[in-house]
Each structure stands twice: as structure tokens, then as C-alpha cells.
Amino acid sequence: AAGVIQSPRHLIKEKRETATLKCYPIPRHDTVYWYQQGPGQDPQFLISFYEKMQSDKGSIPDRFSAQQFSDYHSELNMSSLELGDSALYFCASSFRLTNEQFFGPGTRLTVL
Amino acid sequence: AQSVAQPEDQVNVAEGNPLTVKCTYSVSGNPYLFWYVQYPNRGLQFLLKYITGDNLVKGSYGFEAEFNKSQTSFHLKKPSALVSDSALYFCAVRDSDNFNKFYFGSGTKLNVKP
């Protein structure tokens, strides 16, 4: 079965640079979620989109933005990167009327 | 506010013994509860969920969880642990008022020893 696809899987950036993370949901899923998981921490909800509209916002810094496109894929844009942004970034997708989220493998971002 | 608590950072159990990973929740409406497992450097994998119905929910890999409304708990259980069950387990609750928001517990590391 098709799963959530995230690219790239690994990304190394320097401070103050920008990064773009991509997420391709499971086919027919209309809702996408972004999470940030720091070392040894639980996933922290950043933002979600339903039918290409932002549906909820969590602890996403102002330096980050995201959107969902017409093909339902989503991109997380991160600017002015800081050392503390180094983390595993997960994307998850679901179909609105069901409840479980299916997670992608994550993108490991390292900021040097 | 909605929240989930996993009181144990780590659970150690011998292979073949039953295991329990604890989770308690706090929600304003009806709870939608989930368990996820995370292997090292991997994404979270869905194990099981409780929405309504039977309090005992069966999931993947032989895991089950018992919903207890009076104790606001949703403990994860397995009758006989395997070494391969060693991983990080997250309990999560979905806000019934806001379908899009998930709250995760802090995670419990399960160590199953041969």
C-alpha cells in the first residue's frame, strides 16, 4: 500500500539559510499535518491543512510557513534557520472522516 | 485543555512476559485515543485506536488497549512480549472539538530482554 512520502530524507543546512521540506500524502487523503520531533522528545504539532486550507496551527515559529497544493502535497518552508531547528520533521496524512494519521518516514534536518 | 500523560519513561520486561504501557488522558469531549510505535530513526506507525464501542481494542502486532472512562486511561497491553517489540511508544488523543489537532504523550521506551 502507498505510504506518505517525504523528501528529502536528510538535509544539512547552515544557520540563517532556508530549507524546504516536501510531503506527499497517501492517495485520496485530504488532510496533511506537520510535526517537529527534537532529540528524545515527543512530536510537536506544527500546522495542518485540510483541502488546501490551513486548518490548525500549533507551535510553528513565524520563520516557518507551509502550504498545501492542488495535488494535496504540502511544503514546509523554513527560513533564517537556527541551531535549535535541528530535528526530525514528520508529515502525516489522513482522510478527514477517519481518525488515524499515517506518518511519513520523516526528514532529518541538521543545522550547523 | 486536552492532554495525554505517559507516567513511565521506560518499561522493562522479559521476553514472553505480559507488558503494559500506561497512558492517561484529559479531554473536554469524547476522547479519540491512539497508540503509535516508533522504531529508531523511523516514522511513527499506527497501532490501534479507540473511538467508540468495545472498551478493549485490538491492534497490530498482537497489541491491545483497554479504554477505561472512569480512570481516564488507555493502557497498551500485550500478553507475551517479543524482543522485537522494543521501541518507543506514544499515546495520543484527538480533540473531539477540533478534528485536526493531535496531542502526543511524552513517550515510553519499552525494553524487552531475552
- Taking only the tens place, the pLDDT of each residue in B48-97 is 999 888 899 999 899 999 999 999 999 999 999 999 999 999 999 886 66
Q: Is the distance from CB of A91 to CB of A103 less than 8 angstroms?
A: yes
Cα nearest neighbour of B109 on chain A: A40
In the predicted model, is pLDDT for residue A87 greater than 50?
A: yes
CB atoms within 10 A of CB A9: 12
How many CB contacts within 8 angstroms connect chain A with chain B? 52
In the predicted model, is pLDDT for residue A98 greater than 60?
A: no
In the predicted model, is pLDDT for residue A97 greater than 60?
A: no
Mutate: best of A7, A32, A33, A42, partner B, most B CBs <10 A: A42
Angle, vertex CA B60, rays to CA B5 and CA B7, nearest 5: 15
**Separation of alpha carbons A78 and A67, rounded Å:** 12
- How far is residue A103 from each of residues A7, A33, B47, measured CA to CA in Å? 13, 9, 12
The pLDDT assigned to A84 comes to 94
The average pLDDT across A24-47 equals 90
Cα of first residue to Cα of last residue in chain B, in angstroms, is 41
Alpha helices in chain A (DSSP H): none
The pLDDT assigned to A32 comes to 92
Distance from CA of B79 to the nearest CA of A (A): 24
Q: Residue B39 — very low, low, confident or very high, per pLDDT cuts 50/70/90?
A: confident
DSSP string, A89-101: EEEEEE-TTS---
Mutate: best of A26, A96, A101, partner B, most B CBs <10 A: A101
The pLDDT assigned to A1 comes to 66
The pLDDT assigned to B90 comes to 94
Q: Which residues of B touch A99 (CB under 8 A)?
A: 32, 34, 49, 51, 94, 99
**Separation of alpha carbons A36 and B108, rounded Å:** 18
| B66: Cα separation from own chain's centroid | 10
The pLDDT assigned to B95 comes to 67
A90 interfaces chain B, CB cutoff of 8 Å:
yes
A33 interfaces chain B, CB cutoff of 8 Å:
yes
> What average pLDDT is seen over chain B?
90
> What average pLDDT is seen over chain A?
91
In the predicted model, is pLDDT for residue A99 greater than 50?
A: yes
Count how many residues are written for chain B.
114
Question: Of B7, B14, B88, nearest to B44 (Cα)?
Answer: B88
Contacts of A62 (CB under 8 A, 6+ apart): none
The pLDDT assigned to A100 comes to 81
Count how many residues are written for chain A.
112
